[in-house]
Amino acid sequence: MDQSKIDALRDQSVFPQSHLIDGKHVPASDGAAMDVLSPLDGRMLTTVAKGTVADMEAAIASARAAFDDRRWAGQPPAARKKILMKWADLIEANALELAVLGVRDNGTEIGMAIKAEPGSAAGTIRYYAEALDKVYGEIAPTQGDVLGLIHKEPVGVVGAIIPWNFPLMIGAWKLGPALAMGNSVVLKPAETASLSLMRMVELAQEAGLPPGALNAVTGEGAVVGEAMGLSMDVDVLVFTGSGGTGRRLMEYAARSNMKRVYLELGGKSPNIIFADAPDLDEAAKVAAHGIFRNAGQVCVAGSRLLVEASIHDDFVAQVAKVAQGMRVGDPLSLKTAIGAVNSETQLRQNLGFVDTATNEGGQVRMGGSRILQETGGYFMEPTIITGVTPEATIAQKEVFGPVLGVSAFDTDDDAIRIANSTVYGLAGAVWTSNLSRAHRMVRGVRTGVMHVNTYGGADGTVPLGGVGQSGNGHDKSLHALEKYINLKTAWIKL
């Protein structure tokens, strides 16, 4: 990647953004707009339309019309595949523009963003484009003069609410399988990270996706998100974000048409280090990167470090050494390892967790403060807090920032008990050379994803989903298609 090309894009003007409804750019029905503040310097980048209930209803009506007349669902699989493939190609061709725009909007360091955002999104769209003509119905093993057929049909209108930390990657996790199966989609980006996702929707239209098959409405979750959740014309709702919002969406579904709701919510993922780990230096490096990259704003971040007591002090020192070598600063510099916190609100929340941790007896081993305040941006030191008990707030609540809580354990059972002591169950890891122990930990820790001697490694071929209050349903892999299809039985007398 060329720094000069990044620098050429960093100050490009960003035009005010409108909704995309029925293939057209549409302003908010009352003309209102929201300022977009860049976390890099706190300055206004542009504005986005501040959607109204009427705007969301118009987008849903467009999606419903597009589904009912089958302008997308009725296309042959080969035709849908061709359009989705072209969309993936356009994302790839515009990758640097998308990545830089996203970084200016949400603060992710460019070295991570270029791969995790447009790179991942293009790969995901391409994966589901390849898969869509390989989804078959079934013939039931009936007896006598009856034929039982099981059809797999699109569900209809999908509402997708996308978070701000990885809008393109997570957006593609929803859009890829939903569109591949022939559904129409209404997209609601996060208030603090709409720009790159709206551009990706424009590229879908350039690729030939018919009007109404994909609509996008920007605005406040409390207004347009609620309108989506309460709509009688949305058949499936998919969401990645906080548990509080997830609960509200489930309530909205119950109050409206009992739409299916799939949630990928918070995590408090344990990274468990045994003294017999095959490479403790590598484990320390991966542990630091697993919590501090993207300023800790990663759903599966290894935010709880559980270390066997016999190596606790030395291992924490090694993690701190790695963290001290990770440069915090300008997210558009290729030399930066840790970018900006997404917003001032999020930064204040992170610092509040540090204060709470120390008040509850934790010790700040390193970091704990806001830095680079002179830039106007939202930057925080990588922070390590030791002496964290399983009951501590920082061990129970998702911080979603560059804050690592460390706890010691003595036995395998202790590690499993501490790992399972939260309401979450999204991800986790164990580092050990003992194969039997590795299998016991994979079996014993309640989580949707468990790593062994690594952290964060997984591609689109395997599912991502949580247990407990980390949500339900799965993104990624062929299993994600299940959220976006209905099974219909045809019972035929011969």
> What CATH number is attached to the domain comprising 285?
3.40.309.10
| Number of structural domains the chain divides into | 2
Cα distance between residue 27 and residue 13, in whole Å: 19
The reply to whether 360 belongs to the active site is no
Torsion of CA 216, 231, 257, 466, to 10 degrees: 40
393 and 319 in a common domain: yes
189 and 90 in a common domain: yes
Q: What's the whole-model pTM score?
A: 0.97
Residue 219 backbone dihedrals phi, psi, to 5 degrees: 145, -170
371 and 341 in a common domain: yes
Amino acid identity of residue 5, one-letter, is K
DSSP H/E element including 416: helix 412-419
Cβ neighbours for 115, distance < 8 A, ≥ 6 positions apart: none
278 and 255 in a common domain: no
Residue 476 in contact with residue 131, Cβ under 8 Å?
Answer: no
Placement of tokens 């447009």 in the chain: 118
Q: How would you write the pLDDT of the chain (494 residues) with one tens digit per residue?
A: 799 999 999 999 999 999 999 999 999 999 999 999 999 999 999 999 999 999 999 999 999 999 999 999 999 999 999 999 999 999 999 999 999 999 999 999 999 999 999 999 999 999 999 999 999 999 999 988 999 999 999 999 999 999 999 999 999 999 999 999 999 999 999 999 999 999 999 999 999 999 999 999 999 999 999 999 999 999 999 999 999 999 999 999 999 999 999 999 999 999 999 999 999 999 999 999 999 999 999 999 999 999 999 999 999 999 999 999 999 999 999 999 999 999 999 999 999 999 999 999 999 999 999 999 999 999 999 999 999 999 999 999 999 999 999 999 999 999 999 999 999 999 999 999 999 999 999 999 999 999 999 998 778 999 999 999 999 999 999 999 999 999 999 999 99
SS3 45: strand
116 and 9 in a common domain: yes
Residue 455 in contact with residue 271, Cβ under 8 Å?
Answer: yes
Domain extent for 218: 3-265+471-493
Sheet holding 260-264, edge to edge: 24-26, 19-21, 214-216, 184-188, 157-161, 236-240, 260-264
Residue 45 in contact with residue 38, Cβ under 8 Å?
Answer: yes
Using alpha carbons, select from 363, 290, 300, 351 the residue that is nearest to residue 323: 290
Cα distance between residue 437 and residue 447, in whole Å: 17
Residue 67 counted as domain residue: yes
111 and 212 in a common domain: yes
289 and 211 in a common domain: no
279 and 184 in a common domain: no
434 and 344 in a common domain: yes
**Which entry of 109, 264, 381, 398 is annotated as an active-site residue?**
264
**Which residues face 149 on adjacent strands?**
139, 490
Tokens of 270: 């344990």
Instruction: Please state the separation of Cα 270 from the chain's center in Å.
Output: 19
Cβ neighbours for 265, distance < 8 A, ≥ 6 positions apart: 240, 241, 242, 243, 246, 424, 426, 466, 469, 470, 471
Please give the pLDDT value at position 1.
Answer: 77
DSSP string, 77-139: HHHHHHHHHHHHHHHHHTHHHHHHHHHHHH---HHHHHIIIIIHHHHHHHHHHHHGGG---EE
Residue 464 counted as domain residue: no
Using alpha carbons, select from 386, 388, 445, 456 the residue that is nearest to residue 412: 445
353 and 211 in a common domain: no
Q: Inter-axis angle of helices 120-131 and 167-180, to 10 degrees?
A: 10
Residue 434 counted as domain residue: yes
448 and 382 in a common domain: yes
Residue 465 counted as domain residue: no
Tokens of 372: 């680079």
Using alpha carbons, select from 310, 308, 273, 309 the residue that is nearest to residue 288: 273
DSSP H/E element including 37: strand 33-37
316 and 255 in a common domain: no
DSSP string, 176-203: HHHHHTT-EEEEE-BTTB-HHHHHHHHH
